[in-house]
Amino acid sequence: MEKDRLRRRTFLKILGLGSFLATVGLSIPITVRFLFPRVLFERPSTFIVGRPDDLNPATTGLRVYEDWKEEYGVWIVREGNRLYAINARCTHLGCTPNYFADEGVFKCPCHGSQFRSNGLNFAGPAPRPLDRLRIYINDDGMITVDRARLYTYKDFDRKGAYLKL
């Protein structure tokens, strides 16, 4: 028998051990992938706020609209002729703050962070102002908010972080 030929027993051994190791090895990424479902039954990332005239651009100063907080976790804020969407998620550890209109302050119930009406942090452990979400006019001329696109305070003047009324 030739020495360097692959013998049947060695071949079957490699085949058997190889398929065993491949199965065990593949089971790990397969299990991890299994835990990431393809479809999620979560709230859609975009929602429509309304027509630009609905938000009454005649009044001056700063105003916080709470109408979309309950369902989408977003405050729409109008500051002068600027409109932006504040993400109702504390920048400390992600609880939902409450808005106290009489004080003009957002307060987080979990660890006591506080923010001004424009989202600026001034008390508690929150490390940065409340994040803002992408706000734009969609093809039907409606004000739309996309909760998947986040702007931190450095990007507040970027296009998409606010809307000029």
Partner 1 sequence: MENKSALWRWIKGSRVYKSIFRHGYEDTKKNRILQIRSNVFLHIHPVKIPDHAYRIRFTWCMGGITFFLFLVEVMTGAFLMFYYTPTPEQAYRDMLYLRYDVPFGMILRNMHRWAAHLMIFTIILHMLRVFLTGSYKPPREFNWVIGVTLLVITLLLSFTGYLLPWDQLSYWAITVATNMIGAMPFIGHEGPLSLLDRYHDIRFLILGGSEIGSNALLRFYVMHIIVLPVTGMIFMAVHFWRVRKDGISRPL
Alpha-helix runs per DSSP H in 60-110 = 69-72
If the CB atoms of residues 85 and 143 are measured against partner 1, the closer one turns out to be: 85
Q: By CB under 8 A, tell whether 141 contacts partner 1.
A: no
Q: How far is the CB of 54 from partner 1 (least distance, A)?
A: 28
Nearest C-alpha neighbor of 165 from the set 83, 59, 73: 83
Render the burial of 87-103: b for 16+ CB within 10 Å, e for the rest.
Answer: bbbbbbeeeebebeeee
Kindly tell me which residue out of 3, 8, 28, 36 binds partner 1, with binding defined by CB under 8 A. 36
147 CB neighbour count, 10 Å cutoff: 18
If the CB atoms of residues 78 and 89 are measured against partner 1, the closer one turns out to be: 89
Q: Which of residues 78-97 bind partner 1 (CB under 8 A)?
A: 93-95
User: Which residue is associated with the tokens 């429509």?
Assistant: 48
Q: How far is the CB of 15 from partner 1 (least distance, A)?
A: 16
- The residue ranges that bind partner 1 (CB under 8 A) are 32, 35-37, 40-42, 93-95, 109-110
